[in-house]
Structure 1
Amino acid sequence: MPTQNQSLLDALNACVAACEHCATACLQEDDVKMMVGCIRLDRDCADICALTARFVARDSAHAQHLLKECAEICKACGDECEKHGAHMQHCQECAVACRRCEEACRAGLAA
């Protein structure tokens, strides 16, 4: 597997893990209602990253479509997590993973 694909897969998988962790941690916050948008985006982002990783790994002709969507959802999730990152470490870590994944997806599109 080319090194570029491996770094993309690493970013996708790291984002899945960060989003799953963030969603779980958000559910344990005192004001869960305030975190609903974050939880939803975390779940969407984790799912699209996992699916995209599978398509990239199998070198699917449709991976490019998913990379575009994945970059958009990673951006939205990163934006939402940044709103809470000042007082929630899990959101801060998730935002960083989302930004890295967004960049990796955009680089994959350009390749």
Structure 2
Amino acid sequence: MNTNEMLKAYPHEVETDVNLVARVVDALNECAEACTACADACLAEVYIGDLRLCIRTDLDCADSSMALARMLTRRLGFPGAVIMAHLQATIVASSTCAVQCEQHAEMHDHCRLCAEACRTAEAACRELLSAMESAAKVVPA
């Protein structure tokens, strides 16, 4: 399924930049997949004790990313405060996970790939949050 195409099929006109929302949803889904795969790969490593925090942040980030992706997909006319709060939480989760995975990136390729996906999701969420904050400041005449 093409996320952009699906979101554009929404039956009502929306003020939200659908192209931006689609990019964020795709980045979040990729991040969640990478985090889930990274956590599983960490569990398969020999020195699993060294990766406990990485596994936890992977799972937290995956859950946060998936929840936000689902919310964005079903709420094109969403209430800004709720989505903005979830964007902020997911920015923290993806940044935290990226930092943790970056610490293991030289030793574990799955951590490097996960960190990259987290940074992409973080940037996409920041872009949408900024757009929403700017739109909230615009008061109709």
- TM-score, with structure 1 as normaliser: 0.97
Give the length in aligned residue pairs: 111
Cα shift readout 1:42-74 (whole Å, capped 9, x = no counterpart)? 000000000001111122322111000000110
Say which one has the larger Rg: 2
In the other structure, the counterpart of 2:38 is 22
In the other structure, the counterpart of 1:72 is 92
Instruction: Percent identity, please.
Output: 38
Any stretches of 5+ residues in structure 1 without a counterpart? Answer: none
In the other structure, the counterpart of 1:91 is 111
Higher relative contact order (CA 8 A, sep 6+): 1
Q: Secondary structure of 2:103's match?
A: helix
In the other structure, the counterpart of 1:4 is 20
- TM-score, with structure 2 as normaliser: 0.77
Cα distance in 2, alignment partners of residues 106 and 89 from structure 1: 26
More helix by share: 1
Q: Could you say what the CA RMSD is over the residues aligned between the two structures, in angstroms?
A: 0.7
Q: Secondary structure of 1:27's match?
A: helix
Q: Which amino acid aligns with 1:32?
A: I
Any stretches of 5+ residues in structure 2 without a counterpart? Answer: 1-6, 8-17, 132-141
In the other structure, the counterpart of 1:48 is 64
Correspondence 1:38 to 2:54: yes
